[in-house]
């Protein structure tokens, strides 16, 4: 927890007055939202957009006003967590199921800052099942197409029910074990009808990676 918090707080130190900030989703992003809230209470003036209903809610509780996307011409920085990070800074995201909105924010941000604790660092992506957001329509067919890519895919459930994203879609969790070529898999997933978004985020999207370590160090 402290390592996630330290990484998130370092990221928030890059937020300055007047910036438009994209808020990620998950426990590490939550630390960033809380730190931003403290900043706002101390006089920091920002506009914020959120990658999930949960993050929007936390932001409002922390005293951060949420801006409508239509009122914005840019996002300066988005701060978000990740489930796995490889040595090239390719990512698996979507553990909380917010991958589609997270990717839209990341793609449209001048800077995408990724905040993780050291437990997220891996030599090769794939141990964490890759979340893929899929349309509910004919989900069984899409699931079969995903399996043909070499994974064990299953529809995510929560509390005995199918997990439904903020966009009213489903999530397929795809266990590849090892993703030998993230770039190749990215292209294959991008071509599949029914796939609304994938949890692979390739390195060119990442502007800065901040890692919190259990011994208190923060690498930036
Ligand atoms: C949510 C995400 C999160 O950033 C990812 O799951 C990491 O979560 P946490 O910070 O709780 O470890 O991609 O969709």
Active site amino acids: 102
- Asked if residue 72 and residue 107 are part of one domain, the reply reads yes
Query: 102: which 2 tokens?
Result: 């997270």
Distance 158 CA to ligand 1 centre (A): 16
CATH number, domain with residue 188: 3.30.70.260
Residue having the nearest C-alpha atom to atom 6 of ligand 1: 95
> In whole angstroms, what is the distance from residue 100 CA to residue 59 CA?
19
- Asked if residue 158 and residue 82 are part of one domain, the reply reads no
Q: In terms of residue numbers, what domain contains 23?
A: 1-122+202-219
Pairing of strands 200-201, 84-85: unpaired
**pTM of the full predicted structure?**
0.97
> In whole angstroms, what is the distance from residue 160 CA to residue 172 CA?
15
- Asked if residue 100 and residue 8 are part of one domain, the reply reads yes
- Asked if residue 137 and residue 97 are part of one domain, the reply reads no
**pLDDT tens-digit series, residues 130-146:** 999 999 999 999 999 99
> In whole angstroms, what is the distance from residue 159 CA to residue 71 CA?
37
Confidence of residue 1 (pLDDT cuts 50, 70, 90): confident
- What residues line ligand 1, using a CB cutoff of 6 Å? 24-29, 80-83, 93-99, 102
Taking alpha carbons only, the member of 127, 180, 118 closest to residue 149 is 180
Point out the least confidently predicted range of 56-60, 67-71, 83-87, 206-210: 67-71
| Residue 54 in this model has a pLDDT that exceeds 90 | yes
CATH number, domain with residue 7: 3.40.50.1360
Mutate to test the pocket of ligand 1, among 28, 50, 119 (most ligand atoms within 8 A of CB): 28
> In whole angstroms, what is the distance from residue 157 CA to residue 154 CA?
9
Mutate to test the pocket of ligand 1, among 82, 113, 165, 167 (most ligand atoms within 8 A of CB): 82
Number of domains comprising the chain: 2
């Amino acid at each position: 927890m402290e390592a996630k918090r330290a990484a998130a707080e370092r990221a928030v130190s890059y937020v300055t007055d007047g910036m438009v900030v994209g808020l990620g989703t998950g426990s590490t992003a939550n630390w960033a939202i809380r730190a931003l809230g403290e900043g706002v209470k101390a006089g920091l003036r920002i506009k914020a957009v959120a990658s999930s209903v949960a993050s929007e809610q936390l932001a409002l509780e922390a005293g951060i006003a949420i801006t409508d996307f239509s009122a914005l011409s840019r996002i300066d920085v988005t701060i978000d967590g990740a489930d796995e990070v490889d040595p090239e800074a390719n990512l698996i995201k979507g553990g909380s199921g917010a991958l589609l909105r997270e990717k839209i924010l990341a793609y449209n941000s001048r800077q995408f800052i990724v905040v993780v604790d050291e437990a997220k660092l891996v030599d090769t992506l794939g141990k964490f099942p890759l979340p893929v957001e899929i349309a509910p329509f004919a989900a069984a067919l899409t699931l079969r197409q995903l399996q043909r890519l070499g994974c064990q895919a299953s529809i995510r459930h929560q509390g005995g029910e199918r997990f439904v994203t903020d966009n009213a879609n489903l999530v397929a969790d795809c266990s590849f074990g090892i993703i030998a070529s993230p770039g190749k898999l990215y292209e294959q997933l991008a071509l599949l009808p029914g796939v609304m978004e994938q949890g692979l985020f390739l390195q060119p999207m990442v502007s800065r990676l901040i890692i919190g370590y259990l011994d208190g160090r923060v690498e930036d």
